[in-house]
């Protein structure tokens, strides 16, 4: 399984673009103040850097932020100078997107020349406890490894 996208070491704080621009003016002061606050609450997490997106501020940390860390970061941004508190939303960690590749499955169903169907694969995934909390966002694809082999990649 491979993972793509933002890591959990990033904290996303949704905020409007005007507030983002105001906040980014004193960036070095914010990093110092955030790290001081995190140290005061005895957090193991430290802010490495801050970057602005169109509608959010992303704070990258050295460790995964806990709920108290998220609350502290959100409160700091709400209390920053010239920030409209109503436009700052609750900070959150990004969700990861993972890709699963199943290899070396038999391409044909037992004792037939019929290829395996996507419905069969989905039933197996739904009935297996390993996949209980996993939701598929894209449809499955079955690829035959080569014309000479009877193996498939899902």
Provide mean pLDDT across the span 18-47. 91
Q: Output DSSP code: residue 77.
A: H
Is the pLDDT at 1 greater than 70? The verdict is no
To the nearest whole number, what is the mean pLDDT of the chain?
A: 81
Distance CA 106, CA 113 (A): 11
**H helices present in the chain, as ranges:** 17-24, 27-40, 67-79, 118-127
Distance CA 51, CA 85 (A): 19
Q: What is the pLDDT of residues 96-140, one digit of tens each?
A: 666 666 666 676 777 777 777 778 777 877 787 777 766 666 677
Contact predicate 15/82, CB 8 Å: no
Other C-beta atoms closer than 10 Å to the C-beta of 82 total 10
Closest CA to 38 of 30, 87, 53: 30
Distance CA 41, CA 68 (A): 8
Q: What residue ranges do the domains of the chain occupy?
A: 2-87, 100-153
């Amino acid at each position: 399984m491979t993972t793509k996208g933002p890591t959990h070491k990033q904290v996303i704080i949704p905020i409007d673009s005007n507030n983002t621009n105001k906040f980014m003016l004193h960036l070095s002061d914010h990093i110092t103040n955030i790290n001081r606050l995190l140290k005061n609450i005895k957090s193991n997490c430290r802010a490495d850097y801050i970057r602005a997106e169109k509608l959010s501020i992303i704070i990258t940390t050295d460790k995964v932020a806990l709920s108290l860390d998220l609350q502290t970061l959100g409160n700091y941004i709400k209390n920053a100078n010239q920030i409209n508190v109503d436009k700052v939303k609750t900070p959150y960690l990004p969700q990861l997107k993972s890709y699963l590749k199943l290899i070396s499955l038999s391409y044909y169903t037992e004792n037939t020349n019929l290829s395996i169907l996507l419905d069969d694969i989905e039933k197996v995934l739904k009935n297996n406890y390993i996949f209980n909390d996993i939701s598929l966002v894209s449809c499955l694809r079955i690829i035959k490894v080569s014309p000479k082999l009877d193996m498939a990649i899902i």
